[in-house]
Amino acid sequence: MYRKGTRVRGKGFALVIMQNSLSYNRLGVSIHRHVRGTVQRNRIKRIIKESFRLRREIFPQSCDIVFTVRPNFSLNGPASIMAAVMNLKMPRFKVEN
């Protein structure tokens, strides 16, 4: 996934996107170990997953997506995550029927 996928970088995070053969998206969340505190890491994961669930249409269809978080990632809530993701230039994939 990390080697074959397309990487799109944002401020403090990156998305690794790779087309799959399914009719739906799958999400993975990877948080750098230097983000201290289990509570903080789990909070970030919950907010990212909830944001993905609420706004699936902004992501490419039929893709595996890994949301990687770096230590300098600032989190103010689901709205800030979606604003940051919407500012990225997403790759286009051909959807096969």
Residue 69's DSSP bridge partners are 13, 31
The gap from C-alpha 27 to its chain's centroid, in whole angstroms, comes to 7
**Stated pTM of the model:** 0.82
Q: Domains in the chain, start-ordered, CATH in brackets?
A: 6-86 (3.30.230.10)
The gap from C-alpha 58 to its chain's centroid, in whole angstroms, comes to 11
- pLDDT value of position 29: 93
3-state DSSP assignment of residue 76: coil
- pLDDT value of position 93: 64
Q: List, for residues 15-36, the tens digit of each pLDDT value.
A: 999 998 988 899 999 998 888 8
The neighbour count for residue 10, using CB atoms within 10 Å, is 15
What is the residue type of 76?
N
User: Is residue 96's pLDDT more than 60?
Assistant: no
Q: List, for residues 60-73, the tens digit of each pLDDT value.
A: 888 999 999 988 88
